[in-house]
Copies of this chain bind each other. A is one copy, B any other.
């Protein structure tokens, strides 16, 4: 269907068809061929057609390396995420990819697995390939700083490292947490556990802040023992949750600070035969597929993750082309999706 099959050779040396080959085939110079294919500068229509035809016939594909070397953009945009296996980052990447593809740019994806070293390596790679810009979910300041220092356009996504000079697109974590916990408080819950897996990142901090703010607003004191921090990449999250619930049998509701924790909490509640929400209510930050599949559905703070990817990519593209003014910080709003996992506090 493609045409000539495997016989489309015509280049003198080995393998690649270069602009020179096209020019020779069309009987012109490389300069003219370049102008004809790029579409700028003067080229007679008849010659332009001949060159185009030759390019098609030979199967000419321009070499980005050469183009990039000459000073153009590489057409590559880097994206650094912390765990592609997590649906959150996958959605983010999907939004980014979609936007970049529409603009004719390619997505280079690096997973740092939460390690600053890996992030630094990724940043170096992006620099090395002359990426048009970089989107990153920061795991520390080093990578962002290195990129910004070298004048690379950077947009931070989901989290912020605090480095000056880069744009950001985030979701209002504090607001989301406040609404989620406020929702529980309004239903009479007074001993609400918050379980989180990291507090090093600003998202974790903000969610904790929201948890506290909701309590303050409701005039309910928050007890330190009700906040469980598992740490990033916990070895046995379910076991930890289990131990925590053993020690705090009085909690009537759990606020899980992200989807990974939420999964562990849900499984542990099921394992110990607790009914949700009759025995314990549950709200998760970050709405996942499974939360609407289970019975009852899990009340969750929905984050516009895909859109965040889209917006971040758009912002980066603008920054990469135009000169752009001061760093922009866009904050998207989360939305509380009420399902069946939250009930008024059980009377006992």
Contacts and interface: CB of A to CB of B under 8 A. Distances in A.
A110 B97 contact: yes
5 tightest A-B CB contacts, nearest first: A290-B290, A90-B90, A84-B94, A65-B68, A290-B293
A84 B97 contact: yes
Contact of A106 (B83, B129, B293): B129
A141 interface: yes
A84 B93 contact: yes
A202 interface: no
B6 A149 contact: yes
Interface residues of A, number: 60
B294 A295 contact: yes
26 contacts: A2-B145, A2-B149, A6-B149, A8-B149, A59-B150, A61-B150, A62-B128, A64-B65, A64-B128, A65-B69, A69-B69, A75-B129, A84-B93, A84-B97, A85-B306, A87-B87, A87-B289, A101-B118, A107-B108, A107-B109, A108-B109, A263-B289, A266-B293, A288-B289, A290-B294, A294-B295
Contacts of A5: 149
A18 to B, nearest CB: 11
Given A59-B149, A97-B110, 4 more contacts: A5-B149, A87-B87, A101-B111, A263-B293
Contacts of A8: 149
Interface string A129-162: 1100000000001100110011100000000000
A125 interface: yes
A74 interface: yes
